[in-house]
Amino acid sequence: MPGDRIGGAPDSVVILGAGHAGSQLAVALRDKGFTGGITLVNGEAEAPYQRPPLSKAYMANGQGDALWFLKPESYVAKDIRLVAGPAISVDRADRSVTLADGTSVGYGHLVFATGTRNRPLPGPWADRGVRTLKTLRDATALRAMLDQTRSLAIIGGGFIGLELAAYANRRGIDVDIVERGPRLMARAVSEPISEHFLAQHRAAGIRVHLDTGVASLDRVGRLTRLTLDGDSHVEADLVIAAIGVTAETSLAQAAGLAVEDGILVDEQLRTEDPAISAIGDCARFPSAHADAPLRLESVQNANDHARLVAGRLTGTPATYDALPWFWSDQGADKLQIAGLPGAADRRVRRGTAESGRFTVFSFRDGRLFAAESVNMPADHMVARRLIASGGIVDADALATPENALKTFLQHRQDA
């Protein structure tokens, strides 16, 4: 009932956001034997669902139910109170959260798992029919539009833009990608991987415009005309902006918590308020894998954060040091990344781009710190273990295909 107060026992946990991090936390708490109340505040109208398939399998099959984390009855069975949000304010002195319908929910511990919001295109362009993809609702709308689309322009050459481009291309839609930077996926992958995917997308017939911004956007009849830097034009039935995200921190900031494109947390994912944690895409945390506090946008990070906080709240605190890993499916290529491929002093390749199956291994100060595998899932799995155990491995030996990868793990154990 609006205005009612629920929960509030000292051992109760309230989770804001029922995406990957929030849903995983609720389940992990029960799996670890937590007996207090768990309230999971859902910011969306749909039952909590997985996001990565929205730009991949869901585009092709449209099966929304297949994305659910749990069947609706399982929340009841696990005694997880799933409530409709969003939360609109947090009162730290009162240890309570107010939901959009006026309900007040008391907490013993509060966890922000509010994810990110898409970065919008500048002001006037937002209302010129440009679409974005974040939610199941967005994806459902885009699927329907793509049925009517002959030409698609995507602004942004990151993972989501490229996954959508590859899907549309396979459906026979004419695709342009406009990327302001000098290479694709520059924030997340090394140069050789950018080059490979650029070649793949171009070979498939996608026009990729690098180093090119959008100067203006106009409706021309039923088409949208993008005027690009340098005064060339692209016209398309449908325009999608996939230009990155910012952390959803508005509520945390309003509650007085420290925020810097991410809610600032320590190595155990605690905010400066001992009764509040933050996990997943919305959290900025110290990491052994980076020089400065990090905010990651990945399912691995959301799940591992959730498990760490569930451990802390059930009596087994730990420091977060999980190795980051990611994946992206683009056309026939599966890219898997272990570690964070930043500046390297040496990169070696195992396999060839021509074969469509290879891994780029990145070294710094003689240590392996990242591996990017294209259609090489076994390399990816071995690389994760090698990096996590310190990355002491010989680069030349790794680049020699005759050396079976699993022998490197063996050497590591013998060392």
**Residues contributing to the site for ligand FAD (CB under 6 A):** 16-22, 41, 43-44, 51-52, 54-55, 85-87, 113-116, 133-134, 160, 248, 251, 280-282, 297-300, 302, 326-328
Nearer to ligand FAD, 226 or 299 (CB): 299
Measured from the CB of residue 26, what is the shortest distance to ligand FAD in angstroms?
Answer: 11
Task: Provide the pairing of β-strand 238-241 with 38-42.
Answer: unpaired
- Of all residues in the shown chain, the one whose CB is closest to ligand FAD is 19
Give the alpha-carbon dihedral of 70, 311, 249, 48, to 10 degrees. Answer: 0
Nearer to ligand FAD, 162 or 223 (CB): 162
Measured from the CB of residue 58, what is the shortest distance to ligand FAD in angstroms?
Answer: 9
Nearer to ligand FAD, 44 or 235 (CB): 44
- Look at residues 90, 100, 85 and name the one whose alpha carbon lies nearest to residue 44: 85
- Provide DSSP, 284-335: EB--TTSSS-B----HHHHHHHHHHHHHHHTT------PPPEEEEEETTEEE
Measured from the CB of residue 413, what is the shortest distance to ligand FAD in angstroms?
Answer: 29
Say which residues have a Cβ less than 8 Å from residue 173's Cβ, sequence separation at least 6: 146, 149, 150, 151, 152
Say which residues have a Cβ less than 8 Å from residue 74's Cβ, sequence separation at least 6: none
Measured from the CB of residue 229, what is the shortest distance to ligand FAD in angstroms?
Answer: 27
Nearer to ligand FAD, 309 or 393 (CB): 309
Nearer to ligand FAD, 49 or 125 (CB): 49
* Single-letter code of the amino acid located at 334: K
**C-alpha distance across the termini of the chain, in Å:** 63
Nearer to ligand FAD, 78 or 334 (CB): 334
Measured from the CB of residue 312, what is the shortest distance to ligand FAD in angstroms?
Answer: 17
Nearer to ligand FAD, 224 or 298 (CB): 298
* Single-letter code of the amino acid located at 134: K
Asked if 336 and 381 touch (Cβ cutoff 8 Å), the reply is no
- Look at residues 255, 254, 298, 256 and name the one whose alpha carbon lies nearest to residue 279: 298
Measured from the CB of residue 277, what is the shortest distance to ligand FAD in angstroms?
Answer: 13
Nearer to ligand FAD, 189 or 223 (CB): 189
Measured from the CB of residue 81, what is the shortest distance to ligand FAD in angstroms?
Answer: 14
Task: Give the C-alpha separation, 322 to 233, whole Å.
Answer: 45
Measured from the CB of residue 166, what is the shortest distance to ligand FAD in angstroms?
Answer: 13
Asked if 332 and 325 touch (Cβ cutoff 8 Å), the reply is no
* Single-letter code of the amino acid located at 41: V
